[in-house]
Copies of this chain bind each other. A is one copy, B any other.
Amino acid sequence: MMLVNGAPAESIPVTDRGLAYGDGVFRTLRAVDGCPLHWPRHYAKLHSDCAALGIPCPSASLLLSEVQSAAAGHPHASVKIMVTRGSGLRGYVPPQPCVPTRIVIAEARTLPSQNAAAGVAVHLCSLRLAHQPALAGIKHLNRLENVLARAEWNDSTIAEGLLLDQDGLAIGGTMSNLFIVAHGALATPILSRCGVAGVTRARVIDIAASSGVACRVEHLPLQRVLDADELFIVNSVIGLWPVSRMATHSWRVGNTTAQIRQALEDDDAALA
């Protein structure tokens, strides 16, 4: 089901700045029996991303009720929320007043395959992410880098692409955040110059802290990734997938990865 500004609709005005400029932000998340998982975190991130672009964020209660309506009737749903700066035809100057557009799309979630247990193969993308501190970390609608990176492979056995930045540092997947495990400790890339700082990444950092597993947010040159004992990717829809292979490199699906995955799943189950 799709809602635009709270009403069932399948279209938006041609003049929406989300289309014209990618002038908006989005979230993807899971809902169980019509309830979005980790809603406070998702709303906080949406609010923070809107603020970074100067878009007034719709209220938590309004969006929550729209997510619940759109996801109703699905035991398991994938939900996408987009908030744009609304309509405005003439040029880049932000419209005054700004009336944001809310779009909520929910559909039955296809439950995951063996990926979570067996791990996935990953492609090392040629495209290098640009450094733009003004947009780094934000899940905004300017995603051509991700589109170009995802178009680099057409092999259904490869589930994700690993993106490096223009200095050769690992940043994340095209649709996921990255963690490495080395000597029993986690590390995940700094996202102050590019990348998207996802909600499940934040949850993993918190889970590590509360379970006594070291987790550093730091620069991760590709070699650190290749040398890691374990590797995994996360996002709010897939959960956690171990990475088992990239070109000629392979990683085991190890105990630390399994421990974090179990903690994420326990946390989801407690909410659902």
Contacts and interface: CB of A to CB of B under 8 A. Distances in A.
Given A143-B142, A175-B91, A12 B9 contact: no
A162 B41 CA distance: 37
Contacts of A23: 143-144, 147
B151 A54 contact: yes
Contacts of A14: 2, 4, 9-12, 103, 105
Nearest to A26: B20
A53 B144 contact: yes
A19 B21 contact: no
Interface of A: 2, 4, 9-23, 26, 53-54, 82, 84-85, 89, 91-94, 103, 105, 107, 127, 130-132, 134-135, 140-151, 166, 174-175
* In the complex, the 10 A-B pairs of residues with the closest C-beta atoms, listed nearest first: A22-B22, A92-B150, A142-B142, A130-B132, A11-B11, A130-B130, A21-B143, A142-B144, A19-B19, A92-B146
15 contacts: A2-B14, A4-B14, A10-B13, A21-B143, A23-B143, A23-B144, A53-B147, A92-B146, A92-B151, A94-B147, A131-B166, A135-B145, A140-B144, A142-B142, A142-B144
